[in-house]
Structure 1
Amino acid sequence: MGYEASVLRRATQRLEAGRKRRAEELERRRARIYAQLPRVAQIDRELRKTILQIIAASLRDGSNPVPAIQVIRDENLDLQAERATLLEQNGYPADALDEHPACAKCNDTGWVGAEMCECLKQLCTEEQIKELSKLLDLGEQSFDTFSLDYYSSLPWKGESLTPRENMEFIYEVCLNYAQKFGKFYFHNLFLTGAPGLGKTFLSACIARTVSENGFSVVYDTAVNIFARFEEQKFARDRAEAGEARDETRRYLGCDLLILDDLGSELTTPFVQSALYTLVNTRLTADKQTVISSNLSMGQVRERYTPQIASRLEGEYRVLPFYGEDIRLQRKQRL
């Protein structure tokens, strides 16, 4: 999995800021203790002086200074014990002057070898959710707050399931898709139905859960996505073209892309080509996608090329939403 460069950059900046803040706090504490306990300051100077001498000698010899430093530390146990006693007698922990990283696993670097540490992953997740929240209302959008109350238990014309029975099934599919992301039977979802039936809400629920589980998630509307593809191809300004190229790479490379409101864009030959590239590239790379649209699959076949329609029908689990508009129901209940 890979996070967007902007998300990783902000998370790394937060990690560095925390490390700097702790270092500054340690320096202030050290200055305070040294002023209060001059003997502690003297002991530290003696310890540092001895260690520096060993390092200098090791560098001259071309040897590794670490074993020698450990020997000196062992030899200076009496000084260390005296320092610990002085600190404890004056109400400080024995290790009050030692560095304490927030994450002992990576020592606050964010990486364990070539692997991203869990502490940096958590920061990336938080930054990613902030990014998603700019486009999706993630404040209360979660599977726990999803309600079936707006879906009727009465038969729906032309359907074998009532709206509530249908939504119970769709809810379970979306919940399992998000919680078992990458391991669930369905890799791609196509949410189809009239406006106001919960497609965007469930998309937001999926985005939140998948993101919280440490995967990279990008959400955007069809109009914005195809505009970025167009800018990449036709922009005359090099900076704009570069920015658009970075955006399209996000769409193609993220673990989960949520493409909202397919069909709202002006369907030109270029858009047809961009959509095919997007869908086919992600399928080939085994990247997962959730698409929501007001279009039925019949309308998808009429609007897009056979190659696109075939991939959407064959590689996506189509989930049809039907029932009464939830927004209108809420308005009537006010």
Structure 2
Amino acid sequence: MPLSSSQFKIILREYDYKRTKNAQLLRSRQVEVNEKISLIQALDAKVVAKGIEASKLIIKEPFNRDVHLKTLKLELKALKEEKENLLEKYGYNKTYLDPIYDCELCQDTGYIHNKKCKCLKHALIDVAYEQSNLKSILLKENFSTFSFDYYSSNKLQGVGASPLDNIKGVYSRCKKFTESFDKEFSNLILFGQTGLGKTFLCNCIAKELLDTSHSVLYLSAFKLFKLLETYRFKNDDQEITYDDIDDIYTCDLLIIDDLGSEVINSFTSSELFSCLNTRLLSKKPTVISTNLHPSGLSKYYSDRIVSRILGDFVALQLVGADIRLQKYN
């Protein structure tokens, strides 16, 4: 889901705005507190003086650098505690004059050690979804709008349950996946014939996690391998960067819709293994939907891919009659 450079610049300008806004807010707090508590300014001056004094000592006695730094650390800690006690004495929270950030992780820069912060990834994906119209789809297709009306209550031979009982179990497992997302690592593969609600349930999962500020990358299998192919071979006018591809491996949740609909060859098989294996090793959950039965995956994919899916994914089968045909009739 690559964005244009102009879109990326707009997002970065938002980070500039956050830093400016928070700096102004902190400054207004400092002015307010200084007017009420005159001793605060004196403590701030002491902090500056201690820093200058330590710098001079280190220049003069470089062999005692560690000693001077340790002393400075203790002195600054004492001054900080004195300042916090003053704030609380006058009815303020002791962190009232601490730097203010919308995101504590990256301090509103968007990056942590030259890598995109979770907040920036979420912002980028959010913009990509806006332009792909997925957000409007998720308003219609989510857990609250999921209907059980199209699933029969009659038991199916060979399944041991009715389509209705089966889908209630699948629905419950998908809900549990989102509810325990931050506590329990797991992966799902939804499989069954066309028109049984696999993509709808993927949308349900996506919306639930997007609403809780997780980065979710939702790609059809065709789109996933098209992005990887374009990046690897540079055979398209569209500019796709390393960061675009890196999101596939590092986003909180990757959803691959309709696996098996892509052109299956040595390239797609290799990339699929790399994608699944990398995410498994880094404990990044993946959800797959497919018309293929897990037992038939070996007809199309290598043993190592099948092994990853059968061994590390919870398989959820959907059964019943095609919902699209039911609506049409």
Q: Which residue of 2 aligns with 1:217?
A: 216
Alignment of 1:1-334 (within 5 A): 13-14=13-14, 16-17=16-17, 107=100, 110-111=103-104, 128-132=125-129, 134=132, 136=134, 137-184=137-184, 187-235=186-234, 240=239, 243-332=240-329
Unaligned runs of 5+ in 1: 25-53, 68-102
Deviation at 1:246, TM superposition (A): 2.8
Question: What amino acid is the match of 1:151?
Answer: Y
1:329 aligned counterpart, secondary structure: helix
Over the matched positions of the two proteins, sequence identity in percent amounts to 34
1:257 aligned counterpart, secondary structure: strand
In 2, Cα distance between the equivalents of 1:148 and 1:306? 36
Deviation at 1:144, TM superposition (A): 1.5
Number of aligned residue pairs: give it: 277
In 1, Cα distance between the equivalents of 2:248 and 2:118? 20
Unaligned runs of 5+ in 2: 25-44, 55-78, 80-95, 111-116
Deviation at 1:248, TM superposition (A): 2.1
CA contact (8 A) 1:197 1:323 kept: yes
Deviation at 1:18, TM superposition (A): 6.5
2:196 aligned counterpart, secondary structure: coil
In 1, Cα distance between the equivalents of 2:172 and 2:98? 37
Deviation at 1:289, TM superposition (A): 0.3
TM-score by length of 1: 0.65
> Which stretch of the first structure deviates more once superposed, 292-301 or 313-322?
292-301
Question: What amino acid is the match of 2:181?
Answer: F
CA contact (8 A) 1:121 1:214 kept: no
TM-score by length of 2: 0.66
- Change in CA separation of 1:123 and 1:285 when aligned onto 2, cut-off 3 Å: closer
Q: Which residue of 1 aligns with 2:41?
A: none
Question: What amino acid is the match of 1:265?
Answer: E
CA contact (8 A) 2:15 2:109 kept: no
Q: Deviations over 1:41-76 (max 9, x none)?
A: xxxxxxxxxxxxx9xxx9xx999xxx9xxxxxxxxx
Deviation at 1:111, TM superposition (A): 3.3
1:111 aligned counterpart, secondary structure: coil
- Change in CA separation of 1:108 and 1:267 when aligned onto 2, cut-off 3 Å: same
RMSD: 4.7
CA contact (8 A) 1:194 1:321 kept: yes
- Change in CA separation of 1:157 and 1:231 when aligned onto 2, cut-off 3 Å: same
In 2, Cα distance between the equivalents of 1:139 and 1:123? 23
1:139 aligned counterpart, secondary structure: helix
In 2, Cα distance between the equivalents of 1:294 and 1:142? 21
- Change in CA separation of 1:104 and 1:290 when aligned onto 2, cut-off 3 Å: farther
In 2, Cα distance between the equivalents of 1:239 and 1:127? 17
- Change in CA separation of 1:232 and 1:328 when aligned onto 2, cut-off 3 Å: same
In 2, Cα distance between the equivalents of 1:124 and 1:229? 18
CA contact (8 A) 1:15 1:108 kept: no
- Change in CA separation of 1:217 and 1:9 when aligned onto 2, cut-off 3 Å: farther
Question: What amino acid is the match of 1:107?
Answer: I
CA contact (8 A) 2:15 2:108 kept: no
Deviation at 1:331, TM superposition (A): 2.2
